[in-house]
Amino acid sequence: MRPDVDLVEVVRDEPLELICSSDCHPDCTYRWYFYPEGRIYDPVNVTALTTGDTLYIERMTAGHSGQYMCKATKEVGEAKISTHVEVVCKW
């Protein structure tokens, strides 16, 4: 996943772009999941544009803070990677 870190800080009202990559041949199917800060329940898509391996949120808010997971799936298996995103205020 790019950026390849455990914690991503993004300024409120700024965009977020996360890219998931794998060594799938043929290509994998990618799905993004979001677990809100302080709560864990079934994965939900957070008003995000998902195109293949890229998750893009145009304008981050405090409600977007939490754990983001990319799952790459193909016929023989799957792989998952996640990162925590913290939305911060810029004063």
SS (HEC) of the chain: CECCCCEEEEECCCCEEEECCCCCCCCCEEEEEEEECCCCCCCECCCCEEECCEEEECCCCHHHCEEEEEEEEECCEEEEEEEEEEEECCC
Q: What CATH number has the domain bearing residue 61?
A: 2.60.40.10
**In a domain? residue 46:** yes
With a CB cutoff of 8 Å and minimum separation 6, the contacts of 46 are 34, 57, 63, 64
Total number of domains constituting the chain:
1
pLDDT of residue 16: 94
Residue pointed to by tokens 């043929």? 26
pLDDT tens for each residue of the chain, 91 residues long: 566 778 999 999 999 999 988 888 778 888 888 887 766 545 554 434 565 788 989 999 998 998 888 888 888 888 888 899 999 998 7
Domain coverage including residue 57:
7-88
**In a domain? residue 1:** no
**In a domain? residue 76:** yes
